[in-house]
Each structure stands twice: as structure tokens, then as C-alpha cells.
A = this chain, B = another copy of it.
Amino acid sequence: MDVLNKTIAVLPGDGIGPEVCREAVRVLEAVGEKFGHHFTFETHLMGACAIDATGEPLPTETLEACFEADAILLGAIGDPKYDNNPAAKVRPEQGLLKLRKSLGLFANVRPVTAYDVLLPHSPLKNDRIAGADMLFFRELTGGIYFGEKGRDENTAFDNCTYSRYEIARIAHLAFQAAQNRRKKLTLVDKANVLETSRLWREVVQEISLEYADVAVDYLFVDNAAMQLILNPRQFDVVLTENMFGDILSDEASVIAGSLGMLPSASVGERVALFEPIHGSYPQAKGKNIANPIAAILSAAMMLEHFELYQEAELMKQAVQEALDKKILTPDLAASGVAYGTEQVGTFIAYCVLDGA
């Protein structure tokens, strides 16, 4: 077995970010110990903590470290003192947007799985969601979040732009993923109203000819928002633009029973970034109640990215063991029998060391 040396830039961020990152690092260290890999973790500032310390949400030092790392592990960013202040000039989210842009992270990849043991926690009827298993590809560096924007006294504007190139590169990734799954791809757009959506549909229709084994369908975003709840099993790979992906992948997260279960990868031209999809939940900060599993599963996606498939599989088995044995934080535990963030991470790390 090959032994790897990997440098991982860790950006714990704000709120519960540092706590969940700590557990993901703990489990990665267990993987390293078990398999003889050497992971070097280098921690850097991003988000509100970086604004507080340096005035910048993404300090140059952090960006440079990310360029040089083999992968990036991010906790979460955001703080109400910036979010609720319309006059704030510098915002934590700008750091993440800039990092994605600088690294060319054009595709956000999010699996959403209905874990059997968590069905009771989902707000959806269990027979609707049992077996649901979908993979979102959200375009991450274009669209309205990155378009030209501006204000004057009485008006504001945001511009949404997409090019064929931006659409095609993520569409190829999504089609390739569909080929390795159930061979179905759903494009979500608003092609009955938006020009950008019509371009998405045009490019995806063209590219679909190269993937004859993948069935393609098209849903308007408002209908998709319904279908995700009405019949989530219909979805395999879901491809969509930046803002629609932001809304729909968060909506779909309710299927899993807890946001605290859902990992993500952001991939592109250079080093890739792995992060839980949940926010910084400032109200939970420092209370040892945050669910670290999303961060741990994000680290497992990182191992897959390193092509350490056996190691990633062991990590996912260790998570499943925590679920089966009910070593769970309060978001998932029955009342009165919850474990802390650190206990859950420690148990999963133990299972990795102990596992086959």
C-alpha cells in the first residue's frame, strides 16, 4: 500500500466551524495512523474571525497557503454582527466567494442520502424518502452571486451572466458522475423566463449527445422545489446554476434528517475544498453540541479525492457505526442521551483505528 504525504490547509472559520474541524482532523489523524499516511494540517484565518484579526475576510497569507496545499478543509463562516448589518462594507462570505473564484472552484458537489437510521428525524414521511440518494452539481463561480452589482440612493441591481464555457465544464463533470451512478441527470433552470437558463438548456442539450447512456430531463426551478419534497427518489444527478443550487441543495438537505450529516466538495482547476454544508450557527458556538459528522464525511470526500478509497470507506463505516450505536449529538439523539461534539468525533476516530 502506498503511503502518502499530504498537506491540508484547515480553515476553521467562525461559530461552530472550529469545533467540527477539530473532529474531522482527529479522524483524519486516526486514518493516517492506521494506514501510515502523513497528513500535515496548517490552520489559517477566513471569515468573520479573519475580518476581526486583519480587516480582510480572506487574508493573502490564507489564500497563498491554500494554493500550496493538497486540499482544503473548511469549517463554516459567518457571524450575525456582519450578516444583519446592511451597512457593513466587508462581509465574511466575501472571503469564501473570493477563495472559490481564486481557486477556480467551479463545481460544488453535494451528496444527499436518506440514512435509514435517521428517517425518524426527517420532517418528510419515511416512505417518501427511504432510498433517496442524489448528487447535486451546483455551479459555484458564476451567475448572480458573482455578477456586477451596485447601489444608488433609490435602486440596487445584481447581474447574472453565464458563458457556454462555464456551463459546459460543470455539465461534463455531472454527466460523468451520472454515468457512474443511475445514469440520470436533471437540469434545473427557469428557461421559460431567463436568458441564462435558456443558454444552460441549450448547452446541456448539446453535451448530452456525448453521453448517450445518460437520460436527461429538465425541470423549472419552482417545480424542482416541489418535486424534491414530493418525490425525491426521482433524482439521481441534479445539475444547476449557482443560486438555484444554493436554494435547492439546502432544501434537499432536510431529507437527511439533519444538516449536520451533509458533506460537500468544491472542485475545479486547482486544489479542491471540502466543507460541511451547514452554516456557522453562532448560537451553538463553544457549546460542544455541533454535529461533527458533516465535517468528517467531508474529510472522507477529501480522501476519495486523494484516491484513498479504502481509507474513505473505513471512515464512512465508522460514521455508520456511530449512527447504529446512537453516539449522536443533540440534533439527532433522543432527548437525554446526546453526546458532545468531541465525544462523537472521538468515537468515530476510535472506530477507524479499531476497524477492518
The answer to whether A202 and B144 touch across the interface, beta carbons within 8 angstroms, is no
Q: Which stretch of A61-69, A121-129, A299-307, A348-356 is in the interface?
A: A121-129
Q: Which stretch of A14-22, A191-199, A289-297 is in the interface?
A: A191-199
- Decide if A184 is an interface residue (CB 8 Å cutoff): no
- Decide if A310 is an interface residue (CB 8 Å cutoff): no
- For the complex, give the distance between the alpha carbons of A156 and B229 in Å: 31
A78 to chain B, nearest CB (A): 7
For this chain, the copies found in one complex come to 2
The answer to whether B156 and A158 touch across the interface, beta carbons within 8 angstroms, is no
A159 to chain B, nearest CB (A): 5
- Which residues of chain B have C-beta atoms less than 8 A from A221's C-beta? 246-247
Question: Binary interface profile of A, 123-140, with partner B (CB < 8 Å = 1, else 0)?
Answer: 111001000000000000
- Which residues of chain B have C-beta atoms less than 8 A from A78's C-beta? 192
The answer to whether A225 and B226 touch across the interface, beta carbons within 8 angstroms, is no
- For the complex, give the distance between the alpha carbons of A191 and B163 in Å: 25
Closest residue of chain B to A194, judged by CB?
B158
- For the complex, give the distance between the alpha carbons of A226 and B144 in Å: 21
- Decide if A251 is an interface residue (CB 8 Å cutoff): yes
- Which residues of chain B have C-beta atoms less than 8 A from A156's C-beta? 161-162, 195-196, 198-199
For window 165-220 of A, CB contacts with B under 8 Å fall at 165, 190-196, 198-199, 201-202, 205, 218
- Decide if A145 is an interface residue (CB 8 Å cutoff): yes
- Decide if A91 is an interface residue (CB 8 Å cutoff): yes
- Decide if A25 is an interface residue (CB 8 Å cutoff): no
Assuming the contacts A124-B123, A157-B161, A251-B251, asked whether A86 and B150 have C-beta atoms less than 8 A apart, the reply is: no
- Decide if A335 is an interface residue (CB 8 Å cutoff): no
A93 to chain B, nearest CB (A): 5
The answer to whether B195 and A222 touch across the interface, beta carbons within 8 angstroms, is no
- For the complex, give the distance between the alpha carbons of A128 and B149 in Å: 39
- Which residues of chain B have C-beta atoms less than 8 A from A205's C-beta? 86
The answer to whether B159 and A83 touch across the interface, beta carbons within 8 angstroms, is no
Question: Binary interface profile of A, 247-262, with partner B (CB < 8 Å = 1, else 0)?
Answer: 1101101100001000
Among A86, A97, A191, A246, residue most surrounded by chain B Cβ atoms (within 10 Å): A86
A76 to chain B, nearest CB (A): 13
Closest residue of chain B to A93, judged by CB?
B192
The answer to whether A225 and B248 touch across the interface, beta carbons within 8 angstroms, is yes
| A residues whose Cβ falls under 8 Å from a Cβ of B | 78, 83-84, 86, 91, 93, 97, 122-125, 128, 144-145, 147, 149-151, 154-165, 190-196, 198-199, 201-202, 205, 218, 221-223, 225-226, 229-231, 243, 246-248, 250-251, 253-254, 259, 279
Question: In the complex, given contacts A124-B229, A226-B253, what are 16 additional A-B residue pairs having Cβ atoms less than 8 angstroms apart?
Answer: A83-B191, A86-B202, A91-B192, A123-B125, A123-B230, A125-B125, A154-B164, A155-B162, A156-B195, A156-B199, A157-B160, A159-B159, A222-B251, A225-B248, A229-B251, A251-B251
Q: Ordered nearest first, which 8 A-B pairs have the shortest CB separation? A: A225-B251, A156-B199, A222-B250, A156-B195, A149-B195, A157-B161, A155-B163, A156-B196
Can you spell out 9 A-B residue pairs with CB atoms less than 8 angstroms apart? A93-B192, A123-B128, A124-B125, A144-B144, A144-B158, A155-B164, A157-B159, A159-B159, A229-B229
